[in-house]
A and B are shown apart, each in its own frame.
Chain A
Amino acid sequence: MYAIIVGAGKVGRNLARELIVKGHEVTLIESSRPCYLAIEEEFEHAAQYGDATELWVLERSGIQRADLVVAVTGDDEDNMLVCQVAKEKYLCDRIIARVNNPRNHDHFRLLGIQPAVSATDLILRLIEHEVPRYGLVHLLALEEERLEIIELEVNDDAPVVGEKVADIALPEGSLIISVLRGGAGFVPKPDTVIEAGDEVLLVLDPGLEEAITTYFAPNGHPADV
C-alpha cells in the first residue's frame, strides 16, 4: 500500500513509522522547515518538505497512485482541504482526517470527509466506558455502513432481567452480539438468561439508542455523542 501522511507532528511521525515497519510505502509531508529537517534524518526520502494544501506538492508526492491519504496536521481547515482534494480531485479511495477541535466534526461530515478522528472524542468514549453505570456507551459508529455498536449496563429493574435472549423482543435493526459478565465476555445463545449487572453489546441501526435503553437501563442516561 502507498500512503501519504500530511503533517509530521507526533501523530504523523508515529503513523509513518508504524506503516513503514509493516512494509508499506509512505510519504510524510511537512510544511515547517525546521520540523522537516528534524524528520528528514530519520525518514530520508520518505520525508517531503512542502505545503500539502498546494496541489503541486500533492502531485509531486504521487497522489495519483496513493491508496491512502491521512491528514493529521494541527489545522482542521488544512486537514479538510487535503482530504477533500485527495478524494474528489485525485479520486483517492481512502482518506482519514484528524479533527483537532471536536466542534468542527460537523464540518468534516458536511464535506463528506470520513472517517474523521478526534482524540478528544476517543478519550471521552474511554471515560464513558470506564465510568460505571453511565448508561449507554457508543463503542463504534460505522457511518458509511449506517451501523453502530453500543454498550449498555443492565439495571436491576430492567425489563430484560431474568429473560432468555430468545424471548426478548428487541426492535428491528438491533441485535445482542456479546455479554460481559464477571469480567469475561461471551457470545449469547438463545437460551442465555440476562442478569442485572451484565454489560451487553449491541449492534444497531442508527437512531435506535433511546428505544434500546428502555429495555436494559430504564433509568440510565444515554450518553450524549
Chain B
Amino acid sequence: MFVLIVGAGRVGSAVAKSALAAGHEVSVLDQDPLSHERLDAGQSKSWEDAQGQFTVGTALEVDALIQAGIERADVFIASTGGDNTNLIIAQIAQKRFGVEKALVRVMDPARAGWYGQQGLYTISPTQHAIEMFESALEVQPA
C-alpha cells in the first residue's frame, strides 16, 4: 500500500514510521525541511535508507503533491497543524486525485463530526481526550 502523509509533526511522523516498519510504501510531505529530523529520530537507519520518501512543500501546491506521489497514493493522511488545511487538502486528494481513503486529523470535534458525515474519515484527538477524561471521571457524556 502507498501511504502519503502530509504534515510530519508528532502524529504524522510517528504514523509514517510505523507504516514504513509495517512494510508499506510511505511518502511524507512537509513545508519545513527540519521536520525530516523527526522521521530519523530513534531509528537505526535514516528515513531515506529505510526507503522512506520525503518532499518539502505545502499541501495546497499541486506540484508538491504530485512530486510526493499523490497520483498513486492508496491512502492520504492529512496531519498538518491546521484543521482547515487538513480538511481542504483531504478533499483535494479525494476529489481531484481520486485517492480512495483520506484520513484527516481535526482537533475541533464539531468540524470533525460534520465533515465525517460528508465522507471524510476524520479523527479528532480532542474528542478522544474528552471521552477519556469523562471515563476517568466516571461521568456520562453531556
* Chain A contacts to B: CB under 8 angstroms: 53-56, 75-78, 80-81, 85, 88-89, 101, 103-104, 106-107, 110-111
User: When A and B form their complex, which 3 residue pairs have the shortest distance between CB atoms, in order from nearest?
Assistant: A77-B84, A81-B84, A55-B110
Contacts of B118 in A (CB 8 A): 88
A110 touches B95 (CB 8 A): yes
Proximity bits, B94-133, A CB within 8 Å = 1, else 0? 0110000000000010110010001000000000000000
- Whether, in the assembled complex, B50 has its beta carbon less than 8 Å from a beta carbon of chain A, the answer is no
CB contacts (< 8 Å) of A78 on chain B: these are 84
> Is residue B62 contacting chain A, with contact meaning CB distance below 8 A?
yes
Interface string of B58-74 (1 = CB under 8 A from A): 00111000000000000
Q: In the assembly, what is the distance between CA of A70 and CA of B95, in Å?
A: 24
Query: Would A110 and B92 count as touching, CB distance under 8 A?
Result: yes
Q: Could you tell me if A77 and B60 are in contact, using CB atoms closer than 8 angstroms?
A: yes
Shortest CB-to-CB span from B37 to chain A, Å, is: 26
Cβ-defined contact, B108 with A107, below 8 A: no
A192 CB → nearest B CB, Å: 45
What's the tally of chain B residues with a CB closer than 8 Å to chain A? 18
Task: State whether the Cβ of B88 lies closer than 8 Å to any Cβ in chain A.
Answer: yes
B33 part of interface (Cβ distance < 8 Å): no
Among B62, B108, B110, which residue has its beta carbon within 8 angstroms of that of A106? B62
B35 at the interface (CB under 8 A from A): no
Given contacts A107-B92, A110-B92, A110-B95, contact A54 B84 (CB under 8 A): no
Instruction: Tell yes or no: B4 within 8 A of A by CB.
Output: no
In the complex, which residues 40-96 of chain B have their Cβ closer than 8 Å to any Cβ of chain A?
Answer: 60-62, 82-85, 87-88, 91-92, 95-96
Choose one: B61, B85, B95, B114; the contact of A85 (CB below 8 Å): B114
CB distance from A147 to the nearest CB of B (A): 25
Query: Of all chain B residues, which has the CB nearest A75?
Result: B84
Which of A53, A76, A107 meets B83, CB within 8 Å? A53
* Chain B CB within 10 Å, residue with most, of A54, A80, A85, A88: A80
